[in-house]
Amino acid sequence: MRIAIMGAMPEEVEPLVARLDDVEEILYADNTFYFGTYRGKEIVVAYSKIGKVFAALTAATLIEKFECEMVLFTGVAGAISDELKIGDLIVADGLCQHDLDITAFGHPHGYVPEGAVCIWADPGLREIAKKVAYDQKVEIKEGVIATGDQFVADPERKTWIGETFKADALEMEGAAVAVVCSALDVPFFILRAISDSADMDAGFDFDAFLKSSAKVSADFVMAMVRKIDG
Ligand code: ADE
């Protein structure tokens, strides 16, 4: 089985690439894809660049061009829930797009016809995450992650997203990966470690904690890869 692991930024994938054996770089669609093996499993790592469009392009390429059979996403997020502190892990049970808005036509926020407000991540992969968390004695929170093409550093916007989508964290790529994977019927899993609280200090905190939180998330995903059959 060929497993894709995505991030959005170099800091999110460098700890993954560092662990691959026999790495080969393939350039495609204005991006670099890192082919390698980890504990005998075939892995393709890529960072998409930031935002929903780049994330959708990368997820579709990993599946359609490079024939990956599942997509794991690792990276950082802004916390909405007060329970989430910097460095904490959140596993998305559902993903929604907080900036998708055709409410002018009577539709709910995050919805377009023939779509869904929330797309659910693969239950089997979420179970594996729970087993890894148990083995490693780390806590993970499961909850909705809201995605949009905005870096949120505004308490009002954060509260609105939390209330509208019942979301616990926010970021800029997860729902795009979810849309692509669910349309192509490929199991996916989105993991994030908290880098900031999407408030007035978010820009400062993000810069300060991006690297350490990205590593927490990447290490956890690699532990999951060790547990995935095939
Ligand atoms: N990823 C990490 N923190 C974020 C924030 N505050 N807004 C959007 N994406 C993020």
CA 166 to CA 160: how far, in whole Å?
Answer: 9
Please state, in angstroms and as integers, the Cα–Cα distance from residue 141 to each residue in 68, 95, 122, following that order. 27, 14, 16
Nearest CA to ligand 1 atom 2: 77
* Residue 194 reports pLDDT greater than 90: yes
CB of 182 within 8 A of CB of 63? no
CA 56 to CA 49: how far, in whole Å?
Answer: 10
- Mean pLDDT for 40-66 is 98
pLDDT band at 155 (very low <50, low <70, confident <90, very high): very high
Distance 76 CA to ligand 1 centre (A): 7
Q: From the alpha carbon of 172, which atom of ligand 1 is closest?
A: 9
* Residue 230 reports pLDDT greater than 80: no
Three-state secondary structure call for residue 160: helix
- pTM tops 0.85, yes or no: yes
Total domains present in the chain? 1
Three-state secondary structure call for residue 204: helix
CB of 34 within 8 A of CB of 14? no
- Mean pLDDT for 164-186 is 98
Vertex 175: Cα angle to 76 and 182 (nearest 5): 130
Distance 181 CA to ligand 1 centre (A): 22
Three-state secondary structure call for residue 188: strand
- Mean pLDDT for 140-150 is 98
Residue 211: the pLDDT is: 98
Distance 151 CA to ligand 1 centre (A): 5
Nearest CA to ligand 1 atom 10: 171
Nearest to 221 by CA among 100, 145, 140, 113: 140
CA 28 to CA 23: how far, in whole Å?
Answer: 16
Cβ < 6 A, ligand 1 pocket: 76-78, 151-153, 170-172, 195-196, 198, 202, 206
Percent over 70 (pLDDT), the chain = 100
- Mean pLDDT for 143-162 is 98
pLDDT band at 229 (very low <50, low <70, confident <90, very high): confident
φ, ψ for residue 18, nearest 5 deg? -60, -25
CA 103 to CA 101: how far, in whole Å?
Answer: 5
As annotated, the active-site residues are 12, 196
**Per-residue model confidence as pLDDT tens digits over 4-48:** 999 999 999 999 999 999 999 999 999 999 999 999 999 999 999
Distance 170 CA to ligand 1 centre (A): 6
**Domain range holding 64?**
2-227
Q: From the alpha carbon of 76, which atom of ligand 1 is closest?
A: 2
- Mean pLDDT for 86-99 is 98
CATH number at residue 180: 3.40.50.1580
